[in-house]
Amino acid sequence: MIKKLFFFLKVQYRRIVLRKPLYINKYVETIPENLKPGILYIEGSDGKYWFAALLCPCGCGKEINVNLDSDESPCWKLGDSKCSDLTPSLWKNNGCKSHFFLKKGEIKWC
């Protein structure tokens, strides 16, 4: 319980005081229609995850969908921490053309 509280306070401190977004993982059975900023939604069940979605961190409000199923291509790998971690980088080909890494919950712009 104390670990969860500390993690929550750390996330809020980074978002409010440092103004650095810290993405956290939210495991769901299906991706919701209305995504919230700062959350990487991970779809799956029983420890098998096949899809992820997040709002573009540039602020354009567009949804970014990511394939986690290694049988399909292209495929991204999900890290093992509470904070979001995806490899390789995410690159939008249209619209805002954002290109970034998601490492330990932080956006690293390319």
Q: What is the pLDDT, as a whole number, of residue 23?
A: 85
The owner of tokens 């394939």 is 67
H helices within the chain, ranges in order?
2-16
φ and ψ of 75, to 5 deg: -135, 140
Domain boundaries, the chain: 22-109
Residue 27 token pair? 């495991």
- Are 64 and 5 spatial neighbours (Cβ–Cβ below 8 Å)? no
Q: What is the pLDDT, as a whole number, of residue 45?
A: 85
Q: What is the pLDDT, as a whole number, of residue 21?
A: 58
Q: What is the pLDDT, as a whole number, of residue 53?
A: 96
Q: What is the mean pLDDT of each run of 10 residues along the chain (110 residues)?
A: 72 66 85 92 89 91 93 87 84 90 87
Query: 1-28 burial by CB neighbour count: b if 16+ within 10 A, else e?
Result: eeeeeeeeeebeebeeeeeeebbbbbee
Find residue 41's DSSP bridge partners: 26, 53
